[in-house]
Structure 1
């Protein structure tokens, strides 16, 4: 059984997936009482968006520790295992919102945004570009609406959040390599492919199976994956399977044999070869190194 705590907000019991949550707070409000450290945890139905404008620290995303270099944004979709080690001078905020709700709004107002709401990661921004954009004014309006009691303030807040996320994406894209615009159709195809992989990855289905489910040829699915996420369908399937294996190895009390069987491997030796081919180390080596790096006793 995994030991990953599941919270609504950190330190609070998880609420049902249908709970329509929207929360705005400055990082210091919750991290200072926890000595600037937030243990690894997840939110089943909530997305978290962090804007860091000063200070530093590290963020754990799944099994990777990433340095926080402001200004930057951190996207943590629902079910992403994450944790933080903030420096005492951290200056930033965290917005928590129901993943399904924000995706529904984005699918209508900004379809291209949907796929980005499903990708965990840290993205740098240009301080000058932030200063010259509408990002900060929208952020200030968003906080004002969240703390208000006027009729419709939550609806206004959600609309402002969509605008904020759009500006965040623009700022992150301008700070990195040019991004090829995605069509709504391709974004939906990738979303559906991810859902199918999550449902069937333990059955070790071939790419042909997923292409058929999507009403596409293998070639078409491959092209969509390359254009949309710069990856292949098989790489996506392996990535999902590997991520689940790593989660179990780090956060569960199960033996390697139990983990292998739970992931659809009838032969533990084959699972070990597969894992080593993907990571360069055996499951046992990965587990030991991860526990040491994350200081899990």
Structure 2
């Protein structure tokens, strides 16, 4: 595996060539973690969101450079694409729920708290009033699971109820208002991120002007298209610096920067730190 490759799975350790369009899967934490000495190494999911429930025990949760130590009962929600890892206390009990992006269509409008939790991520304690309900739902999901690649309506409804039972200790960010053209722009950015295309190039493929694309981005997410593009580049750089053995020069090349010095200036301008600093800090954390 190249040094700049972050492992990508559908389910941890598994990455089928063609992910099913709709799926929902649940398993116990021990099912995989016990086989890995209770440590799930850094990876990401490009085709699923994940909700992890710790009923009893402790977990050290890493997500995109942020580290939390949580005691059960607690939960963690991991958005699509986020690089994350877990280190569990031995014999920790709980469940891991993986859901296809299609599950997000169950949201009841852009302000739905469930949508915010799953698209932005969240973590925290499970309240005493919700603990019994969450545990029962997880056990029921495990009992009725049949073909996870084509989940039944009851399974999906219970998964919906489970996510809605979770209350982050801090309010989740408000979900972005939906706009098909913004979603299409984001997809194009993911496909062509390292090609450093001009905004006019993206706008042309969307069938709109660069000015219209700017207006959409400002209205929907309060930033310009170039800011969105640059922020995505920096996020990917941070992930590669923190979660792979790649050097700063290698990360620059992987992300399409011809000049490592320019990459360093670009990174520092957006983050306030030199990439060498973040790389060294990640090594210190181990």
- TM-score interval, normalised by the smaller of the two chains: 0.7 to 0.9
How far 1:241 sits from its partner (Å)? Answer: 0.4
Deviation at 1:95, TM superposition (A): 1.4
Q: 1:63 to 1:178 in 2, by over 3 A?
A: closer
Q: Is residue 10–residue 16 contact of structure 2 (8 Å, CA) maintained in 1?
A: yes
Q: Deviations over 1:101-135 (max 9, x none)?
A: xx335426746469547635332255144158x64
CA contact (8 A) 1:40 1:81 kept: yes
Contact 2:182–2:216, Cα closer than 8 Å, also in 1 = no
Distance 1:196 1:144, change over 3 A: same
C-alpha change, 1:142 and 1:166, in structure 2 (3 Å) is: same
| 5+ long unaligned stretches in structure 1 | none
Aligned to 2:167: 172
Q: Quickly say closer, same or farther: Cα 1:220–1:63, change in 2 above 3 A.
A: same
Q: Which residue of 1 aligns with 2:29?
A: 27
Change (3 A) 1:232 1:59: farther
Q: Does the 8 Å contact 1:52/1:71 carry over to 2?
A: yes
Which runs of 5 or more structure 2 residues have no equivalent in the other structure? none
Instruction: Find the counterpart in structure 2 of residue 218 from structure 1.
Output: 214
Considering fraction of residues, name the structure with more helix. 1
CA RMSD between the two structures = 3.7
- Preserved contact between residue 17 and residue 44 of structure 1 (Cα < 8 Å): no
Partner Cα separation in structure 1 for residue 78 and residue 175 of structure 2: 22
Residue equivalent to 1:154: 151
For residue 87 of structure 1, report the CA deviation from its aligned partner: 1.9
Q: How many residues align?
A: 276
Say if 1:189 and 1:86 are closer, same or farther in 2 by CA, change over 3 A. farther
TM-score, normalisation: structure 1:
0.73
Contact 1:145 1:156 in 2 (8 A): no
SS in 1 for 2:16: coil
SS at match of 1:130: helix
How far apart, CA to CA, are the structure 1 residues paired with 2:272 and 2:236?
A: 17
1:36–1:86 contact (8 Å) kept in structure 2 = yes
Please tell me whether the aligned partners of residues 49 and 76 of structure 1 are also in contact (alpha carbons under 8 angstroms): yes
- Report the Cα offset of residue 85 of structure 1: 1.0
Q: Which has the higher contact order (CA 8 A, sep 6+)?
A: 2
- Separation in 2, partners of 1:144, 1:81: 30
Larger deviation, residues 32-41 vs 107-116? 107-116
SS state at 1:14 partner? coil
Shift of 1:74: 1.8
Partner in structure 2 of residue 124 of structure 1: 124
Q: How big is the shift at 1:242? A: 0.9
Describe the shift of the 1:196–1:135 C-alpha distance in structure 2 as closer, same or farther (beyond 3 A): same
Q: Give the distance between the partners of 2:29 and 2:116, measured in 1 at CA.
A: 23
Change in Cα spacing, 1:76 to 1:223, as seen in structure 2 (3 Å) is: same
Rounded Cα–Cα distance in structure 1 between residues aligned with 2:33 and 2:195: 41
